Structure 1
Amino acid sequence: MTNSVSLELARLATMKPAELRSRWHEVYRNVAPNISPDLLRRGIAYRLQEKVYGKLPSYIKRELDRLNGKGGTSAPTPSRLGPILPGTRFVREWNGKTIAVTATEGGFEWDNDTYGSLSEIARKVTGAHWSGPRFFGLAAKVA
């Protein structure tokens, strides 16, 4: 990584939300979305690195679009995803808070606790009954 990009990425970690929104506007040339400061940092970091090292190859972008339900295919469902491997990370923003879950051999780790399912975590986060895969965007809504 070039020195200037490394310095800029390190500077992002200390920026306040207002500074991040301003920096977002500079790098994306549009208003920052209403997301957490952590996600703003990640988006800005991605864009800065993209400018230095180039964009994703088109075949990878197509595959990501396909997996995200764009381009005429449906969104992935748990049955199409196959087994969830240890180390897989699930990230969701809920009420301004970033929820990051890691799959482990024995379940799912979140907030220094281990849970047996994503649904347990979704219920704990929201206080309501949720399908864990749906909460984390792995399953489409049933019509």
Structure 2
Amino acid sequence: MTVAEIEGMDRAALVAAWSDIFRTPVPKGLSKVLMRRFLAIEIQTRQMGGLSKKTKTALRKPSDQTARRQSPGLQPGGRLLREWNGVTHVVDVTDDGFVWKETRYRSLSRIAREITGTHWSGPRFFGLNGAAKS
């Protein structure tokens, strides 16, 4: 089976391919798009000789030992500015979180919620991963 063949398969054919490749039933609610992606990755991985040693080691590591990646723009001492409803909000980045209005927060999302009164992705609100809307 090739990746190109997967693109033309209907749901029944994808389910059959999944069973052949993974030897398990398809997870409940998995869309055709995701089935195609998983199957394509598995086929490519097998054709290329499997996962690298580094990748296998990383996958075996418990998630609590995985270091949380921090954006290069969020180094301690950094400052985030965001204007909201005519007010400029200043957030300072610290070693253990963020400071806004002399209060320490662990999450940018919490600060964004305090500012707007509604749920926001903090990084998005402050323009770190996409356009923020006013």
Q: Sort the TM-score into its range (normalised by shorter chain).
A: 0.3 to 0.5
> Relative CO higher for 1 or 2, CA cutoff 8 Å, sep ≥ 6?
1
Q: Which structure's CA Rg is the greater one?
A: 2
Structure 2-normalised TM-score?
Answer: 0.46
Structure 1-normalised TM-score?
Answer: 0.44
